[in-house]
């Protein structure tokens, strides 16, 4: 109707975003659903994006899917003084930022089940995050040689991804409520304690194996 390709593309992308945001478990994104939601004929999705796969790719590129290190830092005001609290704040901020992004949570959940255009994008974004976090935090701190800090961060990031994505549906996980502030605080504290312990205990020079 409006005869404006750019606007139409915008509407389509927005519709996909809306569906993903409220998908809370419904699964099955389809061309028909997106087109209907956008109030547009589905053929335009094929014309402008080359089908669902292309649409996903375009969406993934265009959308603010992942928190930046800066955002995570802002969320928790990273203290620069010591490594452990800095990392703890970073991971806590990462977790909190994920929770604020429904479509990202959906993408993470989706990513567990199948590989598609979004998966690749997520991989690249994670890699980006890792680089940024490294340059931001590790440059100015000494890491105890005994600790494979990268593996520890992978463990904590995996936990954050899992807890955030699972938390969007409510419920609890191994005795911790995922959908209320009390549970969130318990997790934050646990993350802090883990990083404190790993870094300081290792720094004390004790053998861990």
User: Which residues of the shown chain bind a copy of itself in the complex (CB under 8 A)?
Assistant: 25-27, 108-115, 123, 126, 130, 146-148, 150-159, 161-163, 165-166, 169, 171, 173-176, 186-187, 189-194, 196-202, 206, 208-209
Q: How far is the CB of 64 from DNA (least distance, A)?
A: 25
75-100 exposure pattern, b = at least 16 Cβ within 10 A, e = fewer? bbebeeeebbbbbbbbbbbbbbbbbe
Of 37, 46, 71, 190, the one binding DNA (CB under 7 A) is 46
List the single partner that 32 binds among a copy of itself, DNA, none, CB under 5 to 8 Å by kind: DNA
Q: Exposed, middle or buried: residue 112 (CB in 10 Å: 0-12, 13-18, 19+)? A: exposed
Taking CB under 7 A as the binding criterion, the range among 33-41, 63-71, 93-101, 197-205 that sits at the site for DNA is: 33-41
Q: Are 93 and 75 spatial neighbours (Cβ–Cβ below 8 Å)? A: yes
Contact status: 7 vs DNA (CB under 7 A):
yes
Q: How far is the CB of 35 from DNA (least distance, A)?
A: 8
Q: How far is the CB of 36 from DNA (least distance, A)?
A: 8
φ and ψ at residue 177, rounded to 5 degrees: -70, 130
In 3D space, the residue among 13, 90, 76, 18 whose CA is nearest the CA of residue 44 turns out to be 13
């Amino acid at each position: 109707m409006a005869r404006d390709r750019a606007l139409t593309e915008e509407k389509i992308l927005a519709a996909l975003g809306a569906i993903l945001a409220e998908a809370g478990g419904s699964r099955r994104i389809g061309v028909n659903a997106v087109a209907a939601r956008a109030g547009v004929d589905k053929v335009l999705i094929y014309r402008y994006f080359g089908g669902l796969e292309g649409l996903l790719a375009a969406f993934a590129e265009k959308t603010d899917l992942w928190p930046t290190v800066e955002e995570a830092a802002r969320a928790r005001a990273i203290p620069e003084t010591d490594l452990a609290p800095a990392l703890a704040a970073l991971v806590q901020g990462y977790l909190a930022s994920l929770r604020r992004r429904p479509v990202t949570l959906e993408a993470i959940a989706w990513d567990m089940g199948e590989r598609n255009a979004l998966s690749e994008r997520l991989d690249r974004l994670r890699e980006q995050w890792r680089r940024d976090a490294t340059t931001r935090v590790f440059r100015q701190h000494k890491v105890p040689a005994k600790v494979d800090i990268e593996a520890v961060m992978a463990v904590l990031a995996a936990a954050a991804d899992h807890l955030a994505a699972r938390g969007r549906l409510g419920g609890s996980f191994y005795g911790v409520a995922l959908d209320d502030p009390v549970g969130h605080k318990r997790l934050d504290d646990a993350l802090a304690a883990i990083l404190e312990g790993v870094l300081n205990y290792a720094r004390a020079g004790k053998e861990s194996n």
